Amino acid sequence: MTVELIDSMGGDHSIARAARVSSGTTGTPEKDRGLINMLMRDRHGSPFEAVTFQFRIECPIFVAREFFRHRIASYNEVSGRYAVMEPVFYTPSSSRPLKQIGKPGAYRFEGGTGTQERVTSAAHRDAARFAWSAYQDQLAHGIAREVARNVLPLSLYTSFCVTLNLRSLLNLLSLRWAHPDSTVPTFPLAEIEDVAVQMNRFAEAVAPDAMAAFDKNGRVAP
């Protein structure tokens, strides 16, 4: 998974400034940190909307579809109707847990055996090769791109831009990263957790006080 921060607007100072409008006060950087922590602790969320991010994300289609369930952002995705897709496919690494133990709502994942890893890798690669060959064959026969793409699997990589404010990002991070500081359990897909971890790092660079308060208060979105 690849995450790139294309643009951002605002930072910790923007959060404190938005919050202080209600009281007409000003503060020092130290007081602003205290204010931000209080806002996070007491879940006064709107001031965090003063910080905005735009990311470019490259990931398999099955990860993008999970990401798009967060209806708190603006999305623009590469279109297989207008562009010929690139032959980039996802194959699980050896560190990716393969076995689901338990039942939905009460399960965990464990690493696979050597045989399971080989079977999984071979299946993904064989399916990708077959699908790509079928896609290219259709294009060579003049079939429209929007029709030819139908044979491509969920493991194909897509790319999209997502624009969202910090409050929305914190909501996403609270659900998509099983962080050790999280006080509310979450069970994210391993691949989307990879995306969330990278986004978290960029957010820490843009609004370090807000992200520190997020961690300190159990990573519960305000």
Distance CA 16, CA 83 (A): 43
Is 176 one of the annotated active-site residues of the chain?
yes
The sign of the CA dihedral 202, 207, 210, 215 is: positive
Smallest Cα–Cα separation from 79: which of 91, 66, 61, 63?
A: 61
Catalytic residue of the set 33, 149, 167, 176: 176
Question: 154: which DSSP letter?
Answer: T
Beta-strand runs (E) in the chain: 2-9, 52-60, 74-77, 99-103, 106-110, 157-165
Active site (catalytic) residues = 176
